[in-house]
Structure 1
Amino acid sequence: MSMVEIPTPAVVLERCDIQPSPDTAAELTRPIIHFDMPWFYFHPVQRLLFFDLPCSKPHFLETILPKLKESLTQTLNHFLPLAGNIIQPLNSRGPFFRFAVGDSVSLTIAESNSDFNHLTGNHPRVSDEFYACVPQLPGETYVRRHHHGVCFGFTNHHAIGDASSIVRFIKAWASVNKFGHDAKLIDDKLVPYYDRTAVEDPEGLDKIYWNLIKRSRVVESPPISFPLNKLRQTFVITKDEVQKLKNFVQEKRPGKHITSFTVTCAMVWRRKQRRWRTTSQNSSASPPTAADAEPAVTGGVLRNCLAFVKAESTHGLLKGNDGFVTAAECIGEAIQRTVYNEKGILDGAEKWPLEFGKLIGKRLFGVAGSPRFDLYDADYGWGRPKKFESPSIDGDTSMSLCKSRDFEGGLEIGLSRPEKDLSAFAAIFTEQLGKL
């Protein structure tokens, strides 16, 4: 496929609505709190999980699909907000999510003639190709009789739950489908916790954020338009390589907060600075990310429990010979200031929306995912996924990050960039690891 082709659409075989069991589900209403509100106008989050599952079309439709539907019904009994709706009544005290009996999750079954082995590789692939697997992609194409594998596409509104919440849902569904019941969810601590009162709000952040949202102009993410003119590639880094990167930084900046997250993000941040050109060596660049702020409660929390972390440096410093070390140091210090703040992780949170609004127009990149997330652990009964991809990063300058499938303690970095930029990062990636 050339860089200018529109992605081949999938044939939609069925669209249906999956409801939680009406005999166990009851109406549920919970407030949207300050952790959730910043994500109101964030673009939808998309995840793809590819499973190596050769089978015929009749076998999939007659045997596998009914079990997936039934297990999804059972799983949704514990994840009611995912089937509900976000309500934004501007004349009330604040927004809330509500599940009513009869609400459902949309499930689309589609078939694509894309090359399964090509899509599940780590080599550069045209980003457009993956949208045949993203939910709600319209269109039809030629159908092969036999399947090479299955791709699960997930799209969710970020305000209803962060990555930790959605990963928990994906693993819960996998568990129910594999074992045929939901009893194991409690043992594995996959059952979510909905009580918002566990999160204190002494500074009145709910009211502050909601008033800002009501006064601000709604800016929603533009729809994806093809061609994207980008390639998607996965870079795998082993546990030993991560440790060597950390040692490399600690030798030059002893005593700094250096983790797997900081060094992997630093490699990408530094590369972006070397690509960007500017006449000012003092122009700033920032990779905003989010830190886990989940309180100690029983079970998981289906919501956003994130604190914003902003690291800044200058173009001149980041493109220099010690740019990688500088980037890692800046990210580590930003995390240290927020996560380990003696006054608490929410110190200064009332200013977060305004501070990040000031970053619009600057050279930014974000991080989707975490070294803690292991989606390759989601087993629906067919073994581990063959590949994870995050289409969400196509729309901005983010990178995806997750645990490696094949290397214990390793990580996968996902990038979607123009071809020249991607090739340049591959060279920098190899160069940096070669110095270790």
Structure 2
Amino acid sequence: MTTILQTLQISPADGAAAELTLPLTFFDMWWVHFHPIRRVLFYDHPCSTAEFLTTIVPNLEKSLSLTLKHFPPAAGNLLYPTDTAKNKPLLRYTAGDSLRLTVAESGRDFDYLTANHPRDADPFWDFVPDLAPPVDAGAYLHAPLMAVQATHFPGRGVALGIANLHLLGDGSAVNASLILGWASISKSAGDEDFLRAQQKLESAPIFDRRVIKDAAGIDGIFWDEMRKTPFSPAPFPLPTNQVRATFGLTRSDLEKLKNRVLVKKPGLNRVSSFVAAACYVWSCVARSEPDGDDAYELFVAPVDVRGRRNALIDPPVPGNYFGNCIAFAVVEIRHGELVGEGGFEAAAEAATEKIRNGVNDAAALLKGAEDWMNEMKKCQEKKMKVFGVSGSPKFDLGIADFGWGKAKKVEYVTLDGENYSMSLANARDGGGGLEFGLSLPEKRMEAFTAIFADGLNK
């Protein structure tokens, strides 16, 4: 159903740094063995095969090359040491490195793929590139950090699949800076507008890892744990045996959910739309599991640490730092409480307090960071379920306009391998609501859909 037409290697345009070597900070080291982040942006842009190959693909090549000039690490590699006792991993770009761009054509139903109702999850993997396997280069294994695929649906549209190791950067770096920057350069057919915006906002990306102060040597603590696991990139989890669907929460729905929390928890004063949406979905997903035990469950909300001063990071990390710079607000609650009467409200109260403390007190957010690995091991040993969020309304890829308008749909294919997670973005109608995506086994998706709708009618 999907045919590879050509494979291109895209290097940064003239003017890129000749070499860039970046050690991993403790914010990066956390993600060494994490699966690649994979997402697909679908664009309703009817065009012929000839136009796709002679106009769209060359523009994507040129604009991607110009983008890599400003973000050279994306064309580089993770260097993973073969002697983990002697060396630590690092990121490196050298002149001549390139990023793989796969060009494909698909006969799959574009409208089916971009619908909201439950659809088989497997076909979406046709549109994301696999990252090339690591190459043994002696002292290090070289693993590409990023790859891109452009897929044409004749007469209907275009899909851009983007995969990257989380080590390249977090959502602020990869989504909001690199991908949206690429879209801007593609739409304007040059990087002049991009450069003017950088100059105006003083936001040229900063790659220097020395802005992350780590006097406690947390990166070494994390590496001592990480190096116990052999490095092996995650394969495509096919068949997924799951379906994916998109759901919406209108502005009215969100206000209703917030009021439900405030009525039961009046001391909070305010509940954010993020907390209301994420905790409501979390509680509904938990309730959709027929045989859940009463173990503790965790909700993990990422918090951007840029611009926040504390003992570990002083002075604060600049807002235009390109890399990973997130900590976590963690909510812990028993399954029985989460799925019971008032479970959503209890979760929202705990999440509000955790996130508020993190936003207002960066020292509290990073307190005990050296023990993050041990805490994660304890959770794994207890087989605790961890509910996470991919994407963010703050770094919404739906607005990425490569010259074909905003994306009709953004799918985080990564969800298929996580099973207990959601994607979150602004509603496409611009009405102030949110939309989220889930990937679940079909029967469980049916249960979730009913529980989700019933809860909004209360």
Give TM-score, length-normalised by structure 1.
0.90
Contact 1:42 1:220 in 2 (8 A): no
Residue ranges of structure 2 left out of the alignment (5+ in a row): 133-150, 308-315
Compute the displacement of 1:22 (Å).
Answer: 4.2
Task: Name the SS of the counterpart of 2:74 in structure 1.
Answer: helix
Contact 1:308 1:352 in 2 (8 A): no
Task: Name the SS of the counterpart of 1:355 in structure 2.
Answer: helix
Q: Which residue of 1 aligns with 2:188?
A: 179
Q: Does 1:345 align with 2:365?
A: yes
**What one-letter code is carried by the residue in structure 1 that aligns with 2:274?**
F
Task: Name the SS of the counterpart of 1:217 in structure 2.
Answer: coil
Q: Which residue of 2 aligns with 1:100?
A: 94
Q: How do 1:82-101 and structure 2 match up within 5 A?
A: 82-89=74-81, 90-92=84-86, 94-101=88-95
Q: How many angstroms apart in 1 are the aligned matches of 2:361 and 2:6? A: 51
Find 2:397's aligned residue among 350, 369, 375: 375
Task: Name the SS of the counterpart of 1:285 in structure 2.
Answer: strand
Deviates more, 1:15-24 or 1:125-134: 15-24
**What one-letter code is carried by the residue in structure 2 that aligns with 1:374?**
D
Q: How many angstroms apart in 1 are the aligned matches of 2:223 and 2:385? A: 28
Q: How many angstroms apart in 2 are the aligned matches of 1:105 and 1:198? A: 27
**What one-letter code is carried by the residue in structure 2 that aligns with 1:286?**
L
**What one-letter code is carried by the residue in structure 2 that aligns with 1:349?**
A
Q: Does 1:152 align with 2:160?
A: yes
Q: Which residue of 2 aligns with 1:366?
A: 388
Q: Does 1:431 align with 2:423?
A: no
Q: How many angstroms apart in 2 are the aligned matches of 1:234 and 1:227? A: 20
Structure 1 residues 143-190: Cα deviation after superposition (integer angstroms, max 9, x where no partner): 999331000000000011112211121111111111122122244346
Q: How many angstroms apart in 1 are the aligned matches of 2:73 and 2:243? A: 34
**What one-letter code is carried by the residue in structure 1 that aligns with 2:401?**
D
Compute the displacement of 1:93 (Å).
Answer: 5.5
Task: Name the SS of the counterpart of 1:110 in structure 2.
Answer: strand
Change (3 A) 1:48 1:144: closer
Residue ranges of structure 1 left out of the alignment (5+ in a row): 1-7
Q: How many angstroms apart in 2 are the aligned matches of 1:172 and 1:352? A: 33
Contact 1:260 1:371 in 2 (8 A): no
Find 1:51's aligned residue among 34, 43, 61: 43
Q: Does 1:409 align with 2:432?
A: yes
RMSD, aligned CA: 2.3
Task: Name the SS of the counterpart of 1:14 in structure 2.
Answer: strand
Change (3 A) 1:51 1:254: same
Task: Name the SS of the counterpart of 1:81 in structure 2.
Answer: helix
Compute the displacement of 1:67 (Å).
Answer: 1.1
Q: Does 1:41 align with 2:64?
A: no
Change (3 A) 1:113 1:340: same
Compute the displacement of 1:227 (Å).
Answer: 2.6
Compute the displacement of 1:91 (Å).
Answer: 4.5
Percent identity at matched positions?
41
Q: Which residue of 2 aligns with 1:115?
A: 109
Change (3 A) 1:186 1:298: farther
Compute the displacement of 1:113 (Å).
Answer: 0.5
Contact 2:106 2:153 in 1 (8 A): no
Change (3 A) 1:268 1:218: farther
Change (3 A) 1:323 1:65: same
Contact 2:8 2:101 in 1 (8 A): yes
Compute the displacement of 1:429 (Å).
Answer: 1.7
Find 1:212's aligned residue among 225, 236, 255: 225
**What one-letter code is carried by the residue in structure 1 that aligns with 2:363?**
K
